[in-house]
Amino acid sequence: MSLPVFKYNPDPLKARVIERNKTICPVCGEEREYVYVGPFYSVEDVEGICPWCIHDGSAANNYSGEFLDISSCEQVEKAEYIDELIHRTPGYFGWQQEKWLSHCGDFCAFIDYVGWKEIKDMANELKDDVETVKRNKRLSQEEFERTLVNKGYHQGYLFRCLKCGKHRLTTDWD
């Protein structure tokens, strides 16, 4: 059985939030070949959720939980976009609080964890986001490039707009 398709996280295996590992899903009770290992915010400590129960919203509904904190997401136009992102989309791993970027009135798709090496060819496209990070952290361009290392203490998160294809970047510090 193939994994469900998630609009805002199209490759949760690459994002390392879904793993190929057997589980008995606490939501549907089915034995599954894939398990969600990413962030899930609920009163109960829940493990072993399958991707299908994320996709149909039953995991969030059964545990009154969310896969992302909406206060850490950029604003979008439609409530259904928010509902899909926080209740039916696998998150990603951040050092602090995961931030979800938006563009063209909708949330972007999470693409990958990145460092400067992976995005330097996109520097012009990502200029506004890079400038925001540099300003907020008081970094020079040289400091930004030197410290932004994939799997390092300054981690980048690359997103892509679903409507126009523009890439966006946010970063986080260990």
In Å, how far from its chain's centre is CA 168?
A: 12
Identify which of 35, 16, 13, 12 has the alpha carbon closest to the alpha carbon of residue 24: 35
Report pTM.
Answer: 0.95
Instruction: Say how far apart CA 26 and CA 72 lie, in whole Å.
Output: 27
User: Residue 58's pLDDT is what?
Assistant: 98
Contact indicator for 50, 34 with CB cutoff of 8 Å: yes
- Give the domain ranges of the chain: 1-93, 108-174
User: Residue 93's pLDDT is what?
Assistant: 94
The CA-based diameter of the chain, rounded to the nearest angstrom, is: 52
Which stretches in the chain have pLDDT values below 70? none
